[in-house]
Amino acid sequence: MTALSLMLRGGILMYLLLLISIAVIAIVIEKYRQIFKLKKANAALLTNLASTSSLPDMRKALQECESDSPLSAMLNKLFNAKTDDPDLLQQSMEAAAQGELHKLEKGLGWLSTFAAVAPLIGFLGTVIGMVRVFMNIQAHSSGGVDISLLAGGIWEALLTTIGGLIVGIVTIIFYNDIVQNLENIVRTMQESGVEYNIRVRSSR
């Protein structure tokens, strides 16, 4: 029995799970594309800055990269700061970085929602299927119940639970991996921010 035939026998909620799966795949692909692009941009920027020692050289290296990554936005605030107040400078850098990171976090809420909702949809499909099974039992109670018909109805009802759990498990795995990648990016930004803050102060 093919996966398509199993999906068809699972009922209308299986189609809903299919739509959720397509949405999850689209979000995951887009998030990984953004993360790969961001890591590449950050690596190129840090490589450019590695050989600089003076503030003008740092500004020039930053301009040459022409990156719109959160790290670039944060370092731009540092290199072109109009104040020497460390608190104001820190707030300015954090605000610039958070604005860029917020763009990367778009879609993660949907992934989290799909991971939670997919198993519930599966359970709902199973409950609906079991209700139909017991309705059939009641309808045929006077003439006896065909055990094969009963078993067939139960396994068909369980198909949506299997589908919902598969979608939910896969989604939460990708969600956690994407969140971990974003946390690593934030950690890199924090370390780079501290390092270049010290270098800027020592070059003045």
Q: Given this model, what pLDDT does residue 22 score?
A: 95
Q: What is the pLDDT of residue 50?
A: 80
User: What CA–CA distances, in Å, run from 6 to 36, 117, 190?
Assistant: 36, 21, 49
Low-confidence ranges of the chain (pLDDT < 50): none
Please state, as a whole number, how many other Cβ atoms lie within 10 Å of the Cβ of residue 204: 7
Cβ–Cβ under 8 Å, residues 77 and 93? yes
For 23, how many CA atoms within 13 A lie in the half-sphere containing its CB?
A: 18
Tell me the domain boundaries of the chain.
Answer: 3-202
CB distance 163 to 7 below 8 Å: yes
Q: What is the pLDDT of residues 19-28, one digit of tens each?
A: 999 999 999 9
Range list of H helices, 52-85: 55-65, 70-79
Residue 115: the pLDDT is 94
Rounded Cα distance, 108 and 177, in Å: 11
